[in-house]
Every structure is written in C-alpha cells, then in structure tokens.
Structure 1
Amino acid sequence: MAELTVLFASAFLAATFLPFYSEVVFLGLLASGSDPALLVAVATLGNTLGGLVNWVLGLALLRFRERRWWPVSERQLARATAWYSRYGYWSLLFAWLPLGGDALPLVAGTLQAPLWKVAPLLAVGKGLRYAALSLLVGTPQPG
C-alpha cells in the first residue's frame, strides 16, 4: 500500500509545475512485479488530479499572473496557448508531454474550459501514457 501512495504522490507532483518524474517510480514498481493495471490506475488518478490543480490555477491566472512566484514562464504559457488554440480541448490529451504539457490545463483554466470537458481528456491522455509505458517495458517474468 505504501508503494501505491508513493506512486500516487509522485504522479500528482509530476503533473504540477514541480520538477518531478513519476515514470521512475512507476517503472520501478513495475519491475518489482506489481500489478500493471493497478499501477496504471493509481498513476493516472494522481497525474490527472495534479493536472486539475493546474486547471484551477489557470482559473486564477488573470488575478495572479504578474506575481513573482507564478510558476509558468511567458514562453511556456505562449507555447501551451498556441497548442490549445490550434487543437482546442483535444490538446489536453497531450498534457503529459514533458515540455509545455503541464501548461495546457492551466491554459484551459484561463479560458474557463468546463471541468466536465477537461477532466476526461486529461485522464485519457495521462492513462494512455502510463499504459503505453507498461506495455513497452513489459512485466518481468518469474525465474
């Protein structure tokens, strides 16, 4: 159970603007023989909720954007806004990308995209990423 808590926390943090990589924890647990479906589910939930934190921050962006502590650079925001403008809601399927992906839900929040559209797309994109990792790496076969 502790391993799943660590995986959830790492996936959650990795989806925010903190520099963290949940794949390390995910792949370590996968290599240790943990149930791949359970790992995908837990990592997807944590990563999706972390992405929703960015969406909530986006809702507040206009009020706090000029503050020194704001975690998104103008460049990151411009890149994510361009993606979002080009692909709309569907761009949220790519919120798992390492460069600019975390800013996509933030942009969706600034544009006041409804939660009922944002959450499922985040979950699908992030879930597919963990499922693909699981399939690419495979599970170790017993001795």
Structure 2
Amino acid sequence: MQAWLDSLLALLALPQFGLSTLFIAAFVSATLVPVGSEPFLFGLLKLNPDMFWPAIAVATIGNTLGGAVDWWLGYGAHKVADKYANSKHHVRVLGWLERLGPKACLLSWLPLVGDPLCAVAGWLKLSFWPCVFYMAIGKFARYVTMTVALLYIWPD
C-alpha cells in the first residue's frame, strides 16, 4: 500500500500533473467542502522548488474561482437564508458585510468563515468583480505568506 501511495504522490508531483492537481485542490478547498489546499501546494513546492510563482499563481486562481462559485451559490440562496432572517446574529453579520461591501472578501482566506463569507457576499448581491478582485488579493497573500513561512522560515 505504501509503495502505491508513494508512486501516486510522485506522479501527482510531476510538473505536468502537479499544477493541475494543485488547481483542483485549490478550487475544491474554496468551496464549502472542508479540504485544505496548502498541503498540496507545500508538497509540490518541496518536490519542485523552482515552481514557486507558477504554483502560487495556480493555487490563487483555483481558490479564487472556487470563491466565485461560492458567490454564485450565495446569490441563488435567498430562500434558504430567509429562514434565518430574524436571527440577532444574522442581522449583525449582514450589517457588517453591507458596511464593508466587496472589501469584506479580503477575509475569504480565513479558515472556516472565508468560504461562507463569499457565499454571503453573493447572497447580498455585492458586486461580483470587485468581490472576486478582493478574494484574489486575500488568497494570494495567504498562499505567499504560508508558503514562504513553510519553505524558508520553518523548513523541515
């Protein structure tokens, strides 16, 4: 079993497969599915350190597109949200998001709350392209910060 897993990981780390695997992992992790893309990015860069910027770009693009899907899911979720419209917490969070507008999507990189935040931005019908722009900035900053920390500040 270990040999099979090692060969699969080696195959996925090849440059021709590594970036596509990273894209899929980053995309899926940005949806409401609880999967992290950082281990994929870190593993790819440990095996192929010369791919730092292409890997960061692919992870950012995949994660941002996943956030955009969340936005569209939120945009279409009015009926579900109406069930919780009178909740005190719901009203407070919506007021905060309406005040911040698309800039709230800078926080899309946060664990647990970032992906639902993108969906709520869609539900509130915040402007799509500014939201995507701020998502991309937040996600790019997260990937660069985490990857630099793991590769250069705390290596092995």
TM over 0.5: yes
Structure 2 unaligned residues grouped into runs of 5+: 1-15
2:123 to 110, 119, 136: 110
CA displacement at 1:130 relative to structure 2: 0.6
Per-residue CA shift, 1:48-93, capped at 9, x if unaligned? 00000000001101135479xxxxxx9x977864652453322211
2:11 matched to which residue of 1? none
Q: Partner residue of 1:56? A: 72
Map 1:93-108; keep pairs closer than 5 Å: 93-108=106-121
The higher relative CO (CA closer than 8 Å, separation ≥ 6) is in 1
Instruction: Detail structure 1 runs of 4+ shifted over 6 Å in the superposition.
Output: 76-79
Q: What residue is the counterpart of 1:88 in the other structure?
A: 101
Unaligned 5+ runs, structure 1: 68-73
Higher helix share goes to which structure? 2
Report the more deviating stretch, 4-13 or 80-89: 80-89
Q: How many percent identity over aligned positions?
A: 37
Q: Is the 8 A contact 2:103 2:131 kept in 1?
A: no
Q: How high is the TM-score relative to the length of structure 2?
A: 0.75
Partner of 1:31: 46
> What residue in structure 1 maps to residue 31 of structure 2?
16
In the TM superposition, what is the alpha-carbon distance from 1:6 to its structure 2 partner? 0.7
- Structure 1 or 2, whichever has the larger Rg, is 2
**SS at 2:34's partner residue?**
coil
Residue from 138, 141, 149 that aligns with 1:125 = 138
Q: Distance in 2 between matches of 1:118 and 1:36?
A: 26
TM-score (ref. length: structure 1): 0.81
Specify the alignment match of 1:2 in structure 2: 17
